[in-house]
Structure 1
Amino acid sequence: MYDQILLPVAPGSEANDAIPHAKSLAERYDATVYVVSAIDTVAQTLRGPQAGSFAERIGDAAEKRVESVTADLEADGIEVVGNVVRGQPVDIIENMIDDVGADIVVMPSHTRSGIQRVLLGSVTEKVVRVSSVPVVTVPMADRAEGAADAEDADAE
């Protein structure tokens, strides 16, 4: 049913609760996981000495993230391909769906609401609207909330 799974990952982010879901689908269907990180920086259009170093840091972070995720999946016996691509994340993901023949996209959702949602938007939400294949959205655990709960439990 699913032979090609697309797994977008954010540069520099260590957390992605969608990874275990992509892994589970890959194991179940003996599928290949395509890990992609889209680099979208305003710095590429800026001029000046700081712009280049910022873009390089983002690029390096994306490379490290893709390498880390692909290594973890390979260690679990999953066939995996990693890519870092420059451009608008939604466009990159939409193009990658076609380029790799993805049957499904598995990606995190930060479940922002209110003004945060209006100001920041949601790549996941946009991908759901434009995708030609099913998109599995996985809510990200609130790391700060989890830490606060652990501290409360320690205090009791």
Structure 2
Amino acid sequence: MFEKILLPTDGSKNSEKAIEYALSIIDKKESEIIILNVVDSVYLTGLPEEDLITKSELILEEESKKVTKHVEDIIKNLEKEKGIDASKLTLTPMTLEGNAADVILKVSENENIDLIVIASSGKHMLDRFLLGSVTEKTVRHTKVPILVIPNK
């Protein structure tokens, strides 16, 4: 039923919970999971030196690559643990820059996503009390089905 799933992740434990759900609902035929990590470097624009901005952006991009690699590793481990046949599953890591919710919405449209699987909140402590701002904006504005995984 769902052949192309978008899995936004920020590397938090909460976002890791969405991985297992995404694996459990993939189509048994050929499927793709796009692992999306968004680097939000908007706060860097106030930094005084161009070199500092560039170095900070490189650090953020490197961390983002680590996050997507970590998700790929978790998926491979879950395949073994749960006996999931992932021979027809394509994992596509994607790192983009911008506002996380805006990027998620744009990717979901541009990539013809069938379903977005996202955690209800991410890394920020305030998110423990509220639906995460990224998730909330995505839910409000998406044009594709979305599955929100609650924090437990």
TM-score range for the pair, normalised by the shorter chain length: 0.7 to 0.9
For 2:6, what is the secondary structure of its paired residue? strand
Aligned to 2:53: 51
For 1:26, what is the secondary structure of its paired residue? coil
How far off its partner does 1:52 sit? Answer: 3.2
How far off its partner does 1:139 sit? Answer: 1.4
Choose from 68, 71, 76 the match for 2:70.
Answer: 68
Task: Report the count of equivalent residues.
Answer: 135
Q: Which moved more, 1:33-42 or 1:22-31?
A: 22-31
How far off its partner does 1:121 sit? Answer: 5.5
- What amino acid maps onto 2:48 in structure 1? R
C-alpha distance in 2 between matches for 1:30 and 1:44: 42
C-alpha distance in 2 between matches for 1:45 and 1:69: 31
Encode CA deviations 1:71-127: one digit per residue, 9 max, x unaligned. 4435632321110001111111011111211011000012633xxx4xx96100110
TM-score, normalised via structure 2 length = 0.76
TM-score, normalised via structure 1 length = 0.74
C-alpha distance in 1 between matches for 2:148 and 2:115: 11
Is the radius of gyration larger for structure 1 or structure 2?
1
Aligned CA distance change for structure 1 residues 50 and 124 (closer, same or farther; 3 Å): same
How far off its partner does 1:63 sit? Answer: 0.7
Aligned to 1:19: 19
- What amino acid maps onto 1:101 in structure 2? N
In structure 2, the gaps of 5 or more residues are 80-85, 122-126
Does residue 6 (structure 1) correspond to residue 6 (structure 2)? The answer is: yes
Encode CA deviations 1:10-49: one digit per residue, 9 max, x unaligned. 1x53552111001111265652111111111211453325
Aligned to 2:114: 103
Q: Which moved more, 1:129-138 or 1:41-50?
A: 41-50
Aligned to 1:81: 92
- What amino acid maps onto 2:18 in structure 1? A
Choose from 113, 133, 137 the match for 1:122.
Answer: 133
In structure 1, the gaps of 5 or more residues are 142-156
- Root-mean-square deviation (CA), in Å? 2.4
Q: Which runs of 4+ in 1 moved over 6 A?
A: none
Higher RCO (Cα < 8 Å, 6 or more apart): 2
- What amino acid maps onto 1:63 in structure 2? K
- What amino acid maps onto 2:54 in structure 1? G
